[in-house]
Amino acid sequence: MKNISKKLRPESLMMSYGYKPELSEGAIKSPIFQTSTFVFKTAEEGKAFFEIAYGHRQKKENEELGLIYSRINNPDLEILEDRLCLWDEAEKCAVFESGMSAITTVLLEFLNPGDIVLISNPLYGGTSHFVHKILPKFNIQVEFFYHYETAQEVIHRIEQKKIKDKVALIYLETPANPTNHLFDIQMARNIADYCSTPDKKVYVTVDNTYMGPLWQHPLKLGADLVVYSATKYIGGHSDVIAGACLGSQEIINRVKYMRTFLGNMAGPWTGWLLLRSLETLKVRMETQAYNAKHVAQFLNQHPKVEKVYYLGNLTQTDGHQYIIKQKQCLSDGAMISFDVKGGEREAFLFLNHLKLIKLAVSLGSTESLAEHPYTMTHADVDVKEKIALGITEKMIRLSIGVEYYEDIIWDIEQALSVI
């Protein structure tokens, strides 16, 4: 890119940053580098690339890690990683073939047998399954905390259970899915610092999928790592599964090292699709948030709706939840859950009569989606726990898309009228 002295905003750089047309016959867009391996100019060059890739020596000044093999690096992935860094102002990024592979790679890299991971509840179903069913095989245990707990309460529990020296990682999802409950990232930082010792730094990881790279920047709020399901807002078109992880150079080097050996990096075609998606990330997400505000206003006053879970509904009377929102969220987002008056029967009647909004799980895409958390995304969660978390049979979760908002509201209104 030409030398530009002005600091440009990420949305201005999404079409060009990190890509050199002169290396690709002048093509304005990055080609799909559908190749498994890369030709070295000389044996000496190949040797130097491997020394750096395997960390056998530090990079010299201005020396770049050359392309070796697409499990380690590929131009579509490198450009994508550079562009994703801009939104979160991260030093480094690693992209994966799914959100789950980003999450599990982080957990496997930063946890050892005997460790405990302190984790917010509720959790995304896949993450919940991994920490409950798979981590215990490696003798890694889980301790949960809840949105209504204070740092003092969590620390008190850690003291009582005598697990302070075992806590190795704090992991949170905020806003929580599907209730939109908020967790305080600074509070997680404080607990992590309390559990850290000079030779054990406890990292804080935030799954930022629900807010996407636009509306919440966990690294600026005290987190060490941020993970995304790029399948959601980043991809944004319901046509690709992918994930990402961002943080400091030191941390992401470790994550990439693990990724190289798990072999779960994204392929060039996935990388290229996400590059295309990133160009419209901001316009998509802003439209989605704008539409969601109107939809929430409609639901708030509807007689067949009992309760609406939407960040824009928080007020000062919500106390700490409101304070966290003011501190952490740059938007009210585009995820709305609501309880219909009734139970599963009424919720299903609504879902079965939608005409424009699709009945599907996933979120953050251009089309609006509706689902029933109790029997779908959260089917695996223990019933008692679901009820305690407020996930009941009358709850519907909406992901608002980019359609004209009056059409979305028309669809919701006609489906509610059937109940």
Query: Which residues of this chain interact with ligand PLP, rule CB under 6 A?
Result: 98-100, 124, 126-127, 173, 177, 207, 209-210, 229, 231-232, 241, 243
Taking the complex as a whole, the smallest distance from the CB of residue 362 to ligand PLP amounts, in Å, to 7
Taking the complex as a whole, the smallest distance from the CB of residue 67 to ligand PLP amounts, in Å, to 26
Taking the complex as a whole, the smallest distance from the CB of residue 247 to ligand PLP amounts, in Å, to 17
**DSSP letters for 48-82:** HHHHHHTTSSPPPTT------BTTT--HHHHHHHH
- Cα 34 from chain centroid? 27
Nearer to ligand PLP, 127 or 216 (CB): 127
CA–CA distance from 241 to each of 78, 92, 229, 372, 394 (Å)?
18, 21, 8, 22, 29
Taking the complex as a whole, the smallest distance from the CB of residue 282 to ligand PLP amounts, in Å, to 20
Taking the complex as a whole, the smallest distance from the CB of residue 270 to ligand PLP amounts, in Å, to 11
CA–CA distance from 32 to each of 25, 75, 234 (Å)?
13, 8, 18
How far apart are alpha carbons 121 and 163 in whole angstroms? 19
Nearer to ligand PLP, 205 or 209 (CB): 209
Nearer to ligand PLP, 98 or 337 (CB): 98
How far apart are alpha carbons 365 and 100 in whole angstroms? 18
Q: Which tokens belong to 408?
A: 């979305």
CA–CA distance from 365 to each of 173, 209, 268, 337 (Å)?
19, 12, 21, 16
Closest to 184 (Cα-Cα) out of 227, 226, 150, 225: 150
CA–CA distance from 107 to each of 71, 196, 242, 252, 307 (Å)?
20, 17, 17, 13, 35
How far apart are alpha carbons 44 and 132 in whole angstroms? 47
Closest to 371 (Cα-Cα) out of 357, 355, 360, 363: 360
Torsions phi, psi for 58 (to 5 deg): -75, 155
Nearer to ligand PLP, 67 or 274 (CB): 274
How far apart are alpha carbons 337 and 275 in whole angstroms? 30
Taking the complex as a whole, the smallest distance from the CB of residue 369 to ligand PLP amounts, in Å, to 12
Nearer to ligand PLP, 81 or 173 (CB): 173
Nearer to ligand PLP, 110 or 130 (CB): 130
User: What is residue 354's DSSP assignment?
Assistant: -
How far apart are alpha carbons 329 and 34 in whole angstroms? 38
Nearer to ligand PLP, 68 or 241 (CB): 241
Taking the complex as a whole, the smallest distance from the CB of residue 150 to ligand PLP amounts, in Å, to 24
Is the torsion defined by CA of 51, 56, 62, 65 positive or negative? Answer: positive
Taking the complex as a whole, the smallest distance from the CB of residue 99 to ligand PLP amounts, in Å, to 2
Nearer to ligand PLP, 19 or 210 (CB): 210
Would you tell me the crossing angle of helices 268-278 and 75-88 to the nearest 10 degrees?
40
Nearer to ligand PLP, 189 or 232 (CB): 232
* E-only strand ranges, 174-292: 203-207, 225-229, 243-247
Minimal CB distance residue for ligand PLP: 99
Taking the complex as a whole, the smallest distance from the CB of residue 363 to ligand PLP amounts, in Å, to 6
User: What is residue 414's DSSP assignment?
Assistant: H
Taking the complex as a whole, the smallest distance from the CB of residue 383 to ligand PLP amounts, in Å, to 22
Nearer to ligand PLP, 73 or 174 (CB): 174
Taking the complex as a whole, the smallest distance from the CB of residue 321 to ligand PLP amounts, in Å, to 19
How far apart are alpha carbons 17 and 73 in whole angstroms? 18
Nearer to ligand PLP, 115 or 173 (CB): 173
